[in-house]
Structure 1
Amino acid sequence: MNDNVNSVTATDTVSASTPRRANGTPVHVGSDDCIELRRLHRFFGKTKAVEDISFSVRRGHVFGYIGPNGAGKTTSMRILATLDLPSYGDAYVDGFSVINDPELVRGRLGFMPDSFGTYRDVNCQEYLDFFARAYGLVGRHRTDRLRWVMNFTGTEGMAEKPIRGLSKGMKQRLCLGRALIHDPAVMILDEPAAGLDPRARIQLRKMIRELADRGKTVLISSHILTELAEMCDSVGIIEQGKLLATGSVDDIQRQRESSRELKIRILDRAAAASECLSTIDTVSGLIVDGQLVKFEFAGDIHDQAALVSQLVSQGFQVAEIESHKKSLEDVFLQVTEGLVQ
């Protein structure tokens, strides 16, 4: 299928439904959703890089985009950043279509790709000033934005330092500053923590949360799932171009959690306690390890309380109970199959 033909079809289809004034100028679509993908498709020949993806991100929220390499994350982000056109469907940034109003989208969006170019023979302040001018910032406003961005990203102390002398972490800060220089409503960050040391990752995570607290909407992809679980208000799991699950981390965990691992420490007669537990339908995989009784438990929190109460009523001395809830990594492994295209 020819990609050029697909792109024209997408434009023709959406333009009829995009609100416009009598003079043809676009009308902002007011909504609490600052990012919205509507049945997005992107084909490269026979490869379906993105296939019928729809989701939205509320204003001031952080959305984690999760998937293996080649799943379609970067393709989706490039479409949102107006660097590529969808084959079908549309995407909206702060109420404006990436197909019909790309210039308006670019003014409202800051994009930090997974790989980016820097200029070896310029310093940090010159680099940021170049992009500020490219976005049309002038006079005092440009000066104030430069000062704020360098202060926020912690690069003010190396304003005169050549970019070629920066560490990977400081380059990431600088490029985050570049994406922030025009004060966009939406931030798209593609693998921003890749290659960073633990301290730099923690600092980046704090900056992203602060941006969300300031009202910015952030879409971020990462392979470090534990950090996404702590940082994101909601996540989407994508594989082979298809969105497999979306929602808050807790919601997805509850939807996918058929059982959890329980560990109960019995001060005396652990083997007898195990025999008692074996009669309960929601208990499986019993293992006795000294005073510890480990097993898979398919009940909810109320069933768990009833189970402990039953053990105590039968004279077993329950000293500790530990419940292991599935992590985002566990859910990711359960939802995906490790497929690439």
Structure 2
Amino acid sequence: MSVVKIENLWVSYGSLDAVRGISIDIPRGEVFGFIGPNGAGKSTTIKVLATLLKHDRGMVWVNGVDVSRYPRAIRDSIGYMPDFFGVYDDLTAMEYLHFFAAAYRLPISKRKGIIHDVLELTDLTHKINSPVDSLSRGMKQRLALARVLLHDPDLLLLDEPASGLDPRARIEVRELLKELKNMGKTILISSHILHELGQLCSQIGIIEQGQMVAQGSLEEIYQQLSLMRVVHVQLAGKPNGILEQIQGIPGVESVEQQVDRMSIRLHEDQTSVEDLHDEICKLGGRIHMFQPEAMDMETAFMKLTHGKTN
């Protein structure tokens, strides 16, 4: 069963349609990356899932439960982290987490152990007695993640969790999210840091002006756009005319001979990277190195969107 299922969601602010007919399906254990410019409708959609905003039309379920009919049940199964998460400066990290453990109605006998576990997971054990206002922004973000993990939710709703962080702090948050993914958490994450979402997410949705303009795995989006992948190939021995034969493989746009390798521009909607490897072998090529370039999410994003907002 899908953890998140959205069908034809519409949300309006007065006469403005902020979200216009989007649908999302997130299976258990998947990470869904929500990409779009400011004002595209990402935060609005996440707030609907978090039961903080009522929608006008469509259906929204979390774990098969209707969000609009049973908001209290939904709140027990989600961890919501907004784009700017306020923390209480007069508390220590330990006091902050104890406060929310009480708010989540966690048994008193278990709170200390649970707080220790989430602090260890977020690598904040050494800051257990530090005042919140003494923490760096990156540590505050990790503390916010520790807070949403206290009640062990099925679904994490993370709205720009790396916003405003320096490069080191972004890497730390990304590694933490990978760990949560490995733990089997289902995650919906919005971000402008596109290449990091490409490394983390199993599914991606690109939204603009409240409408989903592309959805699927990064590879599927590339195929939809007919974007080309560059594959670097190094053959053992001399080519002996094989370059011309590779040029004839369906989907190969061009073959450029470089000093120690060739660069092949490939339409993956016609021939997959794996099939290209097999075809080169069939032509008698002895492959010493075969390296497809990583997918460039920025390219897909720029081609699909026009920088417009509602």
TM-score, reference length from structure 2:
0.84
Distance 1:88 1:150, change over 3 A: same
Which structure ranks higher in relative contact order (CA pairs < 8 Å, sequence separation ≥ 6)?
A: 2
1:225 corresponds to which residue?
A: 194
- For 2:290 and 2:29, how far apart are their aligned partners in 1? 38
In the alignment, is the contact (CA less than 8 A) between 1:257 and 1:326 conserved in 2?
no
The alpha carbon displacement at 1:204 in A equals 1.9
2:14 corresponds to which residue?
A: 45
The alpha carbon displacement at 1:279 in A equals 8.4
Amino acid at match of 1:238: I
Larger radius of gyration: 1
Distance 1:318 1:251, change over 3 A: closer
Q: Secondary structure of 1:49's match? A: strand
1:198 aligns with 2:167: yes
Aligned pair partner of 1:138 in 96, 99, 107: 107
- For 1:121 and 1:322, how far apart are their aligned partners in 2? 52
- Cα distance per residue 1:212-239 (max 9 Å; x no partner): 3333211111111221111112111111
Distance 1:292 1:152, change over 3 A: closer
- For 2:290 and 2:227, how far apart are their aligned partners in 1? 19
Aligned pair partner of 2:73 in 100, 104, 109: 104
Q: Which runs of 5+ in 1 are unaligned?
A: 1-31
Distance 1:291 1:230, change over 3 A: closer
1:118 corresponds to which residue?
A: 87
- For 2:186 and 2:95, how far apart are their aligned partners in 1? 27
Distance 1:178 1:320, change over 3 A: closer
In the alignment, is the contact (CA less than 8 A) between 1:253 and 1:327 conserved in 2?
no
Q: Secondary structure of 1:193's match? A: coil
Distance 1:129 1:244, change over 3 A: same
With 105-114 and 241-250 compared, the bigger mean Cα shift is at: 241-250
| Root mean square deviation of aligned Cα | 3.1
In the alignment, is the contact (CA less than 8 A) between 1:285 and 1:296 conserved in 2?
yes
Aligned residues with identical type, % of pairs:
37
- For 1:177 and 1:318, how far apart are their aligned partners in 2? 47
Q: Secondary structure of 1:114's match? A: coil
2:48 corresponds to which residue?
A: 79
1:63 aligns with 2:32: yes
1:244 corresponds to which residue?
A: 213
- For 2:99 and 2:198, how far apart are their aligned partners in 1? 35
Aligned residues: 305
The alpha carbon displacement at 1:241 in A equals 0.6
Distance 1:176 1:262, change over 3 A: closer
Q: Which runs of 5+ in 2 are unaligned?
A: none
TM-score, reference length from structure 1:
0.77
In the alignment, is the contact (CA less than 8 A) between 1:260 and 1:297 conserved in 2?
yes
1:24 corresponds to which residue?
A: none
